[in-house]
Amino acid sequence: MEKKVNQRKLRVCVATCNRADYSKLAPIMSGIKAEPESFELDVVVLGSHLIDDYGNTYRMIEQDDFDIQARLHTIVRGEDEAAMVESVGLALVKLPDVLNRLKPDILVVHGDRFDALALATSAALMNIRILHIEGGEVSGTIDDSIRHAISKLAHYHICCTRSAEQHLIAMCEDHDHILLAGCPSYDKLLDVRNKDYMSVIRAWLGDDVKPENYIVALQHPVTTDIKHSIKMFELTLDALISFNKKTLILFPNIDAGSKEMVRVMRKKGVEHHPNFRAVKHVPFEQFIQLVAHAGCMIGNSSCGVREAGAFGTPVINLGTRQTGRETGENVLHVRDADTQNKIIHALQLQFGKRYPCSKIYGDGNSVPRIVKFLKSIDLAEPLQKKFQFPPVKDSISQDIDHILETQSALAVDLGGTNLRIAIVSMKGDIVKKYVQPNPKTYEERIELILKMCIEAASEAVNLNCRILGVGISTGGRVNPHEGIVLHATKLIQEWSCVNLRAPLSDALHLPVWVDNDGNCAALAERKYGKGKGVEDFVTVITGTGIGGGIIHHHELIHGSSFCAAELGHIVVSLDGPECMCGSRGCLEAYASGMALQREAKKLHDENQLLVDGMSLKNEDGISAIHLIQSAKLGNSKANTILKTAGTALGIGIVNILHTINPSLVILSGVLASQYVSIVKDVIQQQALSSVQTVEVVTSDLSEPALLGAASMVLDYTTRRTY
């Protein structure tokens, strides 16, 4: 620090916003002014300095023989939260012109006020180095956030205590750019205590007031809880009136809530009360003498916990505004000042006492240290700040693509025949699949689901898959919000009023989603299939039964009683074959795998199923596959059955088109390819012209139920609403 690192004078701009920060900045300004061979000093005045209600305190800067290069009226009156924000905005509008004109090398900013935040923001964006005074301290209000924000913008730091220095280091600030100097105001206040204090006391409080027999009160609003701080101020005034001691009370600062506090003062008649002297401003040297010789100081000003300790003056700190500040033993904290009696009791305990003098915040020699520090600043150093982050362990995470691939879901497909479970990745890859026959009883089925899920979840670890949750696709009507199967057809026995979510979630400690298999097929198409990016489409499953799902405005439709998209039970004939639901003429009774199996058995019983090229082993059961095979080999009766089934499906889809008017119909399941051309023909023959242009396609997904079940989990992890 001893060497002169710059070949020219350092141009230092000191910006002061209010009476409080000027008391800390004035000694630094004097130190800079005293060395004209090393520094050029510019002074910018803004904020409450220029407001009459707050004493026009810019005059004391002129009285101290400092030239003011710029005066900026930046306060928007209103004294509420919005006014504070608007004041910051106004300062940000006005400051660039001043900083462009002055072109300082260093901008000196103090503390934690909203005006100071505007100063630091402007300088940082204009590539001007910032020296922040009193960073790293803790007080317990919004001021903390502002103070730390300024510290992050600042290039250099002057702190007052060892704890503040450690806080700045913990905030990753460069240790070489931090100076533990002490509070600059101590350089002046330790010299003024023994001056002619009696004349000061008489001037402000009257001739009959003796030292240590009066109170200094200074209380500001707490911007994070204005209503409570006003109530506390009201209780404080009531307590002071009752305590019946001469009191010098200063008006609050300009923070949100100050106007209401002034109203409380006037409502209580403080300005005209014989025991009170209410003032807007006291010059710092005189104020320090008044504090030094007071019987007690009360309120929530930082002066009470900082400067008053240098004289051993007893202090009552009210509320939370200075929570976290380092204090001497002279400070009695009344955190919850919610009654007048509590404050009176504190006054009785503190008034008239004397405490050992404390030098926590300084020893009276901070300014020489700060001036020396300023001389050491090398303007040739890069302007960009460097943060001193603590060492961290090497990350064991893999690259983002790999992470996305291994984020997975357990998908469960509960069909009429088989129980299938799969580990499905975010990209829709089935990493591993497990298949078991679906048990006939509820107890056996739940037991098997749990066993298979636990095994799959365990194996997922070895496969480098992180399971995010479980998705279940099941036949039947499902309440997806509760994870309950409300009712199922005869395809799945003992499967009504079944809570699937609770047992699986309890056993696996994972979130569980449940939905109908048709809805899951639609979700699979939305995420991985031909419905991706389509706003409105319908998926129709043609398998053992007939089901489906409706996507409207990109979201799945469940209906008021979770019965939407029960497409298999659209009635297409009043006197058609009986359906498993108990009705007649349903789509499922015509076009499902069970319906085709039924018709195949009839043909077989009449010896009309098998044609040349077909054979049937004794152990083989008759199925829909045999009917399709027979039709392909030229069996006209089998072909007629398939055409009737396809026509019934086509009529059902026409009804869907006329009801919800989707732009796309996706046929899914093992029978989709058999029906697609017939369905298209029926649409052209039966549908209104306005919907005949609808696109009808077959699904490319081999496992729509599993993929749809997985998508419920994976869509949630990517914050899609389901």
DSSP 8-state code for residue 251: P
Q: Which residues of the chain have pLDDT under 50?
A: 1-2, 395-405, 720-722
Q: How many CB atoms lie within 10 A of CB 329?
A: 11
Q: Collapsing DSSP states into helix, strand and coil, what is residue 179?
A: strand
The architecture of the domain spanning 192-350 is: 3-Layer(aba) Sandwich (3.40)
- Note the Cα 286 to chain centre separation in Å: 47
CA distance 279 to 272: 12
CA distance 450 to 355: 71
Residue type, 499: N
CA distance 497 to 467: 27
Residue 432: phi and psi, rounded to 5, are -155, 145
What is the rounded radius of gyration, in angstroms, for the C-alpha atoms of the chain? 41
DSSP 8-state code for residue 213: S
Annotated binding site for an N-acyl-D-mannosamine: 477, 489, 517, 566, 588
Q: Which two tokens stand for residue 231?
A: 């109530």
- The residues that bridge with 668 in the sheet, in sequence order, are 541
3-state secondary structure 70-111: EEECCCCCCCCHHHHHHHHHHHHHHHHHHHHHHCCCEEEEEC
Q: Collapsing DSSP states into helix, strand and coil, what is residue 7?
A: coil
Strand ranges (E), 2-50: 10-16, 39-46
Q: Looking at the domain 10-188+367-376, which fold is it?
A: Rossmann fold (3.40.50)
Q: How many CB atoms lie within 10 A of CB 167?
A: 19
Comparing 10-188+367-376 with 192-350, is the CATH topology the same?
yes
The string of pLDDT tens digits covering residues 491-532 is 677 888 999 999 998 888 889 999 999 999 999 999 999 999
Question: How confident is the model at residue 10, as a pLDDT?
Answer: 96
Q: Which residues contact 26 (CB under 8 A, 6 or more apart)?
A: 61, 64, 184, 188, 284
Interior CA angle at 87 toward 85 and 90, to 5°? 115
Q: Which two tokens stand for residue 195?
A: 């001056």
Q: Looking at the domain 532-700, which fold is it?
A: Nucleotidyltransferase; domain 5 (3.30.420)
Q: What are the residue boundaries of the structural domains of the chain, listed by start? A: 10-188+367-376, 192-350, 404-529+712-721, 532-700
CA distance 193 to 199: 13
Q: Which residue has the tokens 């007893």?
A: 314
DSSP string, 642-708: HHHHHHHHHHHHHHHHHHH--SEEEEESTTHHHHHHHHHHHHHHHS-GGGTT-EEEE---S-HHHHH
Interior CA angle at 612 toward 609 and 613, to 5°? 105
- The residues that bridge with 246 in the sheet, in sequence order, are 214
CA distance 670 to 418: 15
Question: How confident is the model at residue 718, as a pLDDT?
Answer: 56
- The answer to whether 708 touches 523, Cβ cutoff 8 Å, is yes
Question: How confident is the model at residue 195, as a pLDDT?
Answer: 74
Which of 3.40.50.2300, 1.20.1560.10, 3.40.720.10, 3.30.420.40 would CATH assign to domain 404-529+712-721?
A: 3.30.420.40
Question: How confident is the model at residue 373, as a pLDDT?
Answer: 95
Interior CA angle at 677 toward 673 and 681, to 5°? 155
Strand ranges (E), 488-545: 498-499, 512-516, 537-542
Annotated binding site for Zn(2+): 569, 579, 581, 586
- The answer to whether 48 touches 60, Cβ cutoff 8 Å, is no
Annotated binding site: 477, 489, 517, 566, 569, 579, 581, 586, 588
pTM given for the model = 0.53
CA distances from 376 to 249, 458, 518, 622 (A): 42, 62, 74, 95
Residue whose C-alpha is closest to residue 240's, from 294, 313, 320, 310? 294
Q: Collapsing DSSP states into helix, strand and coil, what is residue 517?
A: helix
- The residues that bridge with 129 in the sheet, in sequence order, are 106
How far is the first Cα of the chain from the last one, in angstroms, to the nearest whole number?
63
Q: Which residues contact 592 (CB under 8 A, 6 or more apart)?
A: 542, 543, 544, 545, 546, 568
Strand ranges (E), 384-483: 407-414, 418-425, 430-437, 466-474, 477-479
Q: Is 378 a catalytic residue?
A: no
Sign of CA dihedral 521, 522, 525, 530: positive
Q: Which residues contact 541 (CB under 8 A, 6 or more apart)?
A: 517, 518, 521, 547, 548, 668, 669, 704
Catalytic residue among 174, 517, 605, 620: 517
Question: How confident is the model at residue 1, as a pLDDT?
Answer: 42
How many CA atoms lie less than 13 Å away from 114 in the CB half-sphere?
25
